[in-house]
Chain A
Amino acid sequence: MKAYILKRFISMIPVLLIVATIVFFLIHLIPGDPAAVILGPEATPEEVEKLREELGLNLPLYSQFFYWLIGIFQGDLGDSIYMNKPVLQAFVEHIGPTLSLALLAQAISIIIAIPIGVLAAKKQGTFVDHLFMLIAMFGMSLPSFLFGLLLMLVFGVHLQWLPAAGYQPLGAGIWEHLKYMILPAFALGMIQAAVIARMTRSSMLDILSMNYIKAAKAKGLKERVVIYKHAFRNAFIPILTILGETFGSLITGAVVTETVFNLPGIGQLVVNSIVRRDYAVIQGTILIMATTYLVLNLIIDLLYGVVDPRVRLNRK
């Protein structure tokens, strides 16, 4: 088990190297100069050139890349040019809202989607099934920013039940924090819920046609036990994959929602950094995101063993 986890961690290195390379060169393809952005339109070319030298931007691209890589291996993601602090610090300052948003959205999507998926499968072909799947289809086609804006308009502006945008950290009190998180979490979670509900339904339908379900019914088990004990645990295996993927994309893909609701999360950090051409922040943040995604995948793979005895490692 330990050897397996170690192996998985080692195999992440080449993936992350590729991500680092792509991100670095892609960012530097964007026209614009951080020194000019920092100094503003009034600055003279001499001043800009002087700042470029200070920031190391006058070096050839490959040596900049090289220095950055060496830094990473030493655990140093570099400093933000614009904010004048280490990238890691900037990241930690912004992770709160993103993590909270992702967790809440995931919780909302699971709570809504899984019962709906199971119910739709149980009532396959009926009105209930068609209605839920129609809503899910609608949810999948709706962009999250549009849904976010609609929620904001209805609950924030017209009904004024919740603040339309902004953020309060958890330190300000749970309710205070949740008040600002509910709308964005719903905007993001409902879209995920659509994906998960459809997956749950089709996975349950697959399992419900299995022989062991018929055998379970023949044992005299109640429908509830057949569905929740025998079918659901098997159906959950592919659902787990989807949950891992959606959670990963929630963390990395909250950019739009954060922008719409003006949450000071990672999404906002990245978007602002792109505008400012703050190379180190963009590169560092994306690299951390990629790592998170890979670690999440590993966790999901380890969870398979918990749900499915057939993939359990070193059982004995």
Chain B
Amino acid sequence: MVGEHLLEVKNLKTTFLTEMGSVVAVDGMSLHVDYGETLGLVGESGCGKSVTAESIMRLLDERTTKYEGEILFKGQDLLSLPEKKMVDIRGNEIAMIFQDAMTSLNPVYTIGNQIVETILTHQKVSKKEAYEKAIEMLRLTGIPSPEKRILEYPHEISGGMRQRVMIAMALSCKPSLLIADEPTTALDVTIQAQILDVINELKKELNMGVIMITHDLGVVAEVCTRVAVMYLGQVIEEAPVDNIFTNSLHPYTKGLLKSIPKIEGDRNKKLYTIEGIVPSLHNIPKGCRFAPRCSFADEQCRTQSPVLKETDGGHKVRCWHYEKIGQMEEKIDVTATS
């Protein structure tokens, strides 16, 4: 695509300076999001999804965090902005919803107070107008009788309602980018679908770009247009959503897809798991980071790190042997069916 993306992250490297030395939580991350599209960011716990999100918002404690690379938002590098300018972008142009709605609202202020505060911070409106806007936003997220809810405290409403309040708050200033960090993980399955619908609807209405962080591939299939799979602080595969489900190239992505429990099939059969555990960030493997857990790994994988390589149609993969693995699997499939 010619022209600029809404958000383009180039070679982002986020390093935490801890007492036990520095830890690189995100290493060479590149991704982009366009207006009106939803990018899924997928991976196991601790792979750097949330750190990526919080790096984009620059929410991490900058005394102990070092950012390298570029985060271009509407062509402007967020990493080089002073905090004073960043404050105007957060909550206004880029908004974020957090995983745990139960603890993301301040317990000592009313819901109304917390939404209105966001509006008053970024827009020149009267308090009364801000309250009307807040009620309107709550209604948009499907909260019944919002004019009553607005006077309530977070502990007086349910988890699903709280997540709706968080969405209303995040979208109250009509941001162009929404980062949703596992917005449905802490919710009941029925509520999950409703929340995803709300996000999808509002995305269309506001033509926002959305980064949907999740470890739930069901959510990805539901709402995403493109998916980036992360492993140990790196993107290892990126593709349009259909490609990921039908034609994944990286052994890790294949493993993730195989680990989804299926309703049909033998109940007594053990669920598929990827061998081994995610290594610690203090002890990152040389070469390909997935090599210790990969059954296809050879000497090259263990010593040289692969780069993220574009194959075709916007499909990118970080693997030395993805072609060979693809051919091998075809053979297996043929022998299995014949």
List residues of chain A with CB under 8 Å of any chain B CB: 125, 210-212, 214-223, 225, 230, 233-234, 307-310
CA A214 to CA B110, docked complex, whole Å? 18
Q: How many residues of B contact A (CB 8 A)?
A: 31
Contact A220 B59 (CB under 8 A): no
Segment at the A interface, from B82-90, B304-312, B315-323:
B82-90
Known: A212-B107, A310-B155. A220 touches B100 (CB 8 A): no
Task: Please give me the residue from chain B that is nearest to A214 by CB atom.
Answer: B59
- A residues less than 8 Å from B14 (CB atoms): none
Mark contacts of B52-73 with chain A using CB atoms, 8 A cut-off: 1 yes-contact digit, 0 otherwise: 0010010100010000000000
Most chain A CB inside 10 Å of its own CB: which residue of B90, B108, B121: B108
Task: Return the contact of B104 from the options A215, A222, A308, A309 (Cβ within 8 A).
Answer: A215
Known: A212-B103, A214-B98, A215-B166. A308 touches B108 (CB 8 A): yes
**Interface check B95, CB cutoff 8 A:** yes
Task: Return the contact of A219 from the options B83, B110, B121 (Cβ within 8 A).
Answer: B121
- A residues less than 8 Å from B96 (CB atoms): 215, 218
- Min distance, Cβ B193 to any Cβ of chain A, angstroms: 24
List residues of chain B with CB under 8 Å of any chain A CB: 54, 57, 59, 63, 83, 87-92, 95-96, 98, 100, 103-110, 117-118, 121-122, 153, 155, 166, 169
Task: Please give me the residue from chain B that is nearest to A207 by CB atom.
Answer: B106
- A residues less than 8 Å from B103 (CB atoms): 210-212
- Min distance, Cβ B152 to any Cβ of chain A, angstroms: 9
Contact A219 B98 (CB under 8 A): no
CA A234 to CA B247, docked complex, whole Å? 50
Contact B105 A218 (CB under 8 A): no
- Min distance, Cβ B243 to any Cβ of chain A, angstroms: 32
Contact A216 B106 (CB under 8 A): yes
CA A223 to CA B166, docked complex, whole Å? 20
CA A215 to CA B53, docked complex, whole Å? 13
Contact B100 A211 (CB under 8 A): yes
- Min distance, Cβ A34 to any Cβ of chain B, angstroms: 54
CA A215 to CA B168, docked complex, whole Å? 13
Contact A212 B106 (CB under 8 A): yes
Known: A219-B169, A220-B89. A212 touches B105 (CB 8 A): yes
Contact B87 A222 (CB under 8 A): yes
Contact A219 B107 (CB under 8 A): no
A216-B106, A218-B98, A309-B108 known; 4 new pairs, CB 8 Å cut-off, are A218-B90, A219-B169, A234-B107, A309-B110
- Min distance, Cβ B329 to any Cβ of chain A, angstroms: 42
Contact A220 B92 (CB under 8 A): yes
The 24 sampled A-B contact pairs (Cβ below 8 Å) are: A125-B63, A211-B100, A211-B104, A214-B59, A214-B104, A215-B104, A218-B91, A218-B96, A219-B90, A219-B117, A219-B118, A219-B169, A220-B87, A220-B90, A221-B117, A225-B121, A233-B108, A233-B109, A234-B108, A308-B107, A308-B108, A309-B108, A309-B155, A310-B108
Q: Which 10 A-B pairs have the closest CB atoms?
A: A220-B91, A219-B91, A220-B90, A211-B103, A215-B104, A218-B96, A212-B106, A309-B153, A219-B118, A211-B104
- A residues less than 8 Å from B95 (CB atoms): 218-219
- Min distance, Cβ A125 to any Cβ of chain B, angstroms: 8
- A residues less than 8 Å from B117 (CB atoms): 219, 221
CA A228 to CA B131, docked complex, whole Å? 22
- A residues less than 8 Å from B98 (CB atoms): 211, 214-215, 218
Contact A221 B59 (CB under 8 A): no
Task: Return the contact of B122 from the options A210, A211, A220 (Cβ within 8 A).
Answer: A220
Contact A217 B104 (CB under 8 A): no
- A residues less than 8 Å from B104 (CB atoms): 211-212, 214-215
CA A214 to CA B90, docked complex, whole Å? 11
Contact A221 B121 (CB under 8 A): yes
Known: A214-B98, A309-B155. A234 touches B92 (CB 8 A): no
Most chain B CB inside 10 Å of its own CB: which residue of A214, A218, A308, A310: A218
CA A220 to CA B63, docked complex, whole Å? 19
CA A220 to CA B91, docked complex, whole Å? 5
- B residues less than 8 Å from A222 (CB atoms): 87
